[in-house]
Amino acid sequence: MSNPLSKLLKRISLLLKRLSFEAKLAIFLVTAATLIIVAIAYPIVSNETVPFGVAAPRGQILILENITIGNYHQENAVDLWGVLTLKGSKDYGDEVTLSISEPWCFDLLYWNGQTYAVKARCVQNVTMSRYAFLQTGSHYWYLERGYHLIAHRTEGEPSNYERVYIAAKYGPEVGEGSFTVAFPRE
């Protein structure tokens, strides 16, 4: 007794031997086009959601700076504008809460190019509107222009290569990230 699958494969093999080159090429092209269309269309049709999380920073080294915006000044700090990237496609409301490990804290400033407003000063947790983030079609969230999230120590000078942990909470979801601070080379 032979396997039914092997019988089917033998029949297909005999059929393919009888086909002309043009017919074989047509079958190959239709099969390839079908596979490509399925590969492109599946993510769109399936509408898979992107889980919420911190996409960046994920451990990279950030250089400490002396930051001045208007009359605001902070030494040995890191501005997370252009660095902090969140991700996610679900809608859990309008607020995102960012947390930072002790002894670090956040200052949240908004600068419109002429004036600035300090929204929070040296807090462990800062709650922001999700609309303070530019949300792209690929479900990445970047701080909008003008928002500056300044990370600095509550007291004392940071250690070179000190690790700082951050967390972002949006609805029931929590994402975690970290960065390492370093002094600029002289």
pLDDT at residue 157, as a whole number: 92
Q: How far apart are the first and last CA of the chain?
A: 81
* pLDDT mean across residues, the chain: 89
Task: Return all residues near 12 (Cβ < 8 A) that are at least 6 apart.
Answer: none
* pLDDT grade for 76, boundaries at 50, 70 and 90: very high
pLDDT at residue 45, as a whole number: 64
* pLDDT grade for 4, boundaries at 50, 70 and 90: confident
What's the rounded mean pLDDT across residues 95-109? 96
pLDDT in tens, 114-173: 888 999 999 999 999 999 999 888 889 999 999 999 999 999 999 999 999 999 999 999
Residue 25 to residue 151: CA distance in whole angstroms: 61
Give pTM, 2 decimals: 0.72
Task: Return all residues near 79 (Cβ < 8 A) that are at least 6 apart.
Answer: 65, 67, 148, 149, 150
pLDDT at residue 160, as a whole number: 93
Give the residue carrying structure tokens 């070179």: 160
pLDDT in tens, 26-44: 888 888 888 888 877 766 6
What's the rounded mean pLDDT across residues 99-104? 96
- pLDDT at 1 exceeding the cut of 60: no
